[in-house]
Each structure stands twice: as structure tokens, then as C-alpha cells.
Structure 1
Amino acid sequence: MNKLLLLSLGGVMLTACSQGANKNAVAEKAIAEKDVAEKVNASVVEVPSNLALRDDKLIPKQIEPKDAVQTGLLTGELQVTPDNGLSVLLSITNNQAYGVLIQYRSGMTADLQIVDPQGEKVWAWSDDMMFTQALRDTSIASGQVVKVQFTVPESVLSNLKGRGYSLVAKYVGHATESKQVAMSDVTISLDPYIH
């Protein structure tokens, strides 16, 4: 009976040892995988959301925050990209559950201005433009996005000295069936783009 007891105890001990060895092997494998993952993550460069990768260079990219308080039937968003000056895209979105009737009093849909730190206009995109004087009536459907492209020349940017200048997009459409403003102005800082 002692032999049977000893054989049973020996079998239990062998099983326990092999399970401990398996646990050690699993733990060592997990540590090795973690080391590899850390090395891979260390070699990957994440581009911050406020920068864009262009020609292997990081450049500032600025978008008006979606949670910015805007009053009006339509919402606006500015996207700025350096490109021999600045390329500026104004996206006008109808987030209402219904179409919005808009009237334009000229051929211009929106204007872009640069204002100084005191809020005074120093440049406007429309300064060197001519627009028809015809009335235009249109409807912007629910969910529709209207895009307006502007260019700010490098010569204009080089005249700006110091910090605190802003781009202001002004939508010129008027809501015809509401007393509410069609869209409030959209403002974005020029500080990242002035050297």
C-alpha cells in the first residue's frame, strides 16, 4: 500500500511540476510578445490631429472645432492648408431636418477676411473681386454641404506682423423663411501660419 501511495504522490507531483512549467512558458511568451509590441509601437510615429503629413513634412492643419457655438440655421467649418499662401475651404452644412431657403443678393456666396488682434479688417478675399448684382434664390437640402474655396496669397501673409490675427469666414446668404440668421461667422486663428 505504501508503494501505491508513493506512486500516486509521485504522479501528482509530476503533474504539478509540468503545469508550473507550462505557466512559466506562457508567462515568458507574454513578456516576449509585450517587448516586441513596445518596440513596434516605439518605431511608429503618430501624426497629431492638428498636423498633416505632406511631402514628408508635418504642417499645421486647423479645423474649426465642431463643438464651437454657432447660431444660425446652417453651420460652418473652416479647413486651412498652407499652399503658396493659404488654401481655405469653408464647408456650409444644413444640419436641420428640413431644407433651408436662401437668398443671395449678389454672385458671392461667402467672403473671407483677415482681422487684426483688435478685430479690425486688414484684408478681404472680395477686395479684388467683382460679383454680379443679380438676386439668387436657392434651397439647401437637409444634410447638404456647400463648399466655398478661398486663397490667401503669400504676399498678404508676409505683411502680417506678430500674433493674434484671425481668418473670419462670412456667409452672405439670407434665410428667406426665418428670422434666424442663416449662418454665424466662422473664425480661426492664423497664429500657426504666420512666421
Structure 2
Amino acid sequence: MNKLVLLSFLLLLACGAGGCGSEESSEDSNSKGEERGQAQMSTDSLMLTGQLSEDRSSWQMKLENTTEEDLTLQFKSGQEIDVTITEEESGEKVYRYSDGQMFTQALKEVTIEAGSSKTWEEKLPDPLESGAYRVHFEVTAESVNGESPQKPLSADQTFSVE
């Protein structure tokens, strides 16, 4: 039973990250996210949401388990996530959560119970200058319930600072 649920999860994860589904729902998600600097990737098993604060001074990322079974994420180090902000036009990196951080070099497991979520948040060290940017939210898990995800657990969104 667990293998069937895991296979369903991986298939749905691949479809969610790969853009399967109707164009209408994808456009709705992107246009709503664009207004709030929000990125989202969802399947029937999980929902990853990344969002910048209204004043663009901090970010929050949430991974929600939408199944009726626990999800165990395995990491190759103490780093669970990464967030990168780049200038939209040049692609130049202006912020990366993991830069300057030190993470334990030990295997780590995090379990998200059925119907629960895990949230990460951080304040940006410096205000963003006016311009167009892209934010990339990523959960760095090597595997979910012992199986490698077929697509990264990540979401991207563009936003502007005036």
C-alpha cells in the first residue's frame, strides 16, 4: 500500500513540477502569484508555496503534506531548503539563503505528518533595489519516503520592486 501511495506521489509530483494539467489553472496560479511575489508548485500529495513579504524585506516558504500519510524527507546535510533571488534581465544573483551559511554534514530526516506543513522564513539582509527579479524556492530533499523525486521540489516566480 505504501509503495502505491509513493508511486502516486512521485507521478503527481512529476506532473505538478513538469507543468501537467490545464493551461488555465497554471495561468491563474502565475498571475495571482505575480501580484504577491508568490511561487507555487502543487500536486495531489503536496503543495510548495514560496512568498515574499509585501515590503519585499523577507520570504516565507511552506511545504504542505496534503496526503493522509506521513511524508519523510531525507537530506544529505543539515540544509533543508534554498532560496535564490536573481535580477530578471541579467540573471545576476542578488541573494541566496545558503551563501555564508554552514550546515551540518550529516544525513537528516524530516517527517511532515499527514495534513501538516513545515514552514521556513528569513529576513533579507539588504533591501532590494528597484527592478524586476526572479525568486527560486527549493526544498533540497534527496528523497521522499526513500524514493528520489523525479523533479526538484521547487517553484519560481518573477516580481518587481518599485
TM-score tier by shorter-chain length is 0.5 to 0.7
Give the 4+ runs in structure 1 shifted more than 4 A.
none
1:86 equivalenced with 2:57 (yes/no) = yes
TM-score after normalising by structure 2 = 0.64
Q: 2:139 aligns with which of 171, 174, 180?
A: 171
Kindly indicate whether the alpha-carbon contact (under 8 Å) linking 2:64 and 2:117 is maintained by their aligned counterparts in 1.
Answer: yes
What corresponds to 1:127 in structure 2? 99
SS in 2 for 1:111: strand
One-letter code of the match for 2:80? T
Aligned mates of 2:123, 2:151 — CA distance in 1? 24
Root-mean-square deviation over aligned CA pairs: 2.9
Could you tell me the percent identity over the aligned residues?
Answer: 20
Kindly indicate whether the alpha-carbon contact (under 8 Å) linking 1:73 and 1:180 is maintained by their aligned counterparts in 2.
Answer: no
Deviation at 1:150, TM superposition (A): 2.0
What corresponds to 2:158 in structure 1? 189
Count, aligned residues: 127
Q: 1:112 to 1:89 in 2, by over 3 A?
A: same
Q: Structure 1: which 5+ residue stretches go unaligned? A: 1-49, 51-59
Q: Structure 2: which 5+ residue stretches go unaligned? A: 1-31
Q: 1:63 aligns with which of 29, 33, 38?
A: 38
Kindly indicate whether the alpha-carbon contact (under 8 Å) linking 1:95 and 1:142 is maintained by their aligned counterparts in 2.
Answer: yes
Q: 1:74 aligns with which of 46, 49, 74?
A: 46
Which structure: greater helix fraction?
1
What corresponds to 1:148 in structure 2? 120
Q: 1:182 to 1:100 in 2, by over 3 A?
A: farther
Deviation per CA, 1:91-141: give whole Å up to 9, x if none.
110112211121111112111101333684613111111111111123221
One-letter code of the match for 2:112? I
Kindly indicate whether the alpha-carbon contact (under 8 Å) linking 2:81 and 2:139 is maintained by their aligned counterparts in 1.
Answer: yes
What corresponds to 1:95 in structure 2? 66
More relative contact order in 1 or in 2 (CA 8 Å, sep 6+)?
2
Aligned mates of 1:121, 1:175 — CA distance in 2? 31
Larger radius of gyration: 1
Q: 1:115 to 1:71 in 2, by over 3 A?
A: farther
TM-score after normalising by structure 1 = 0.54
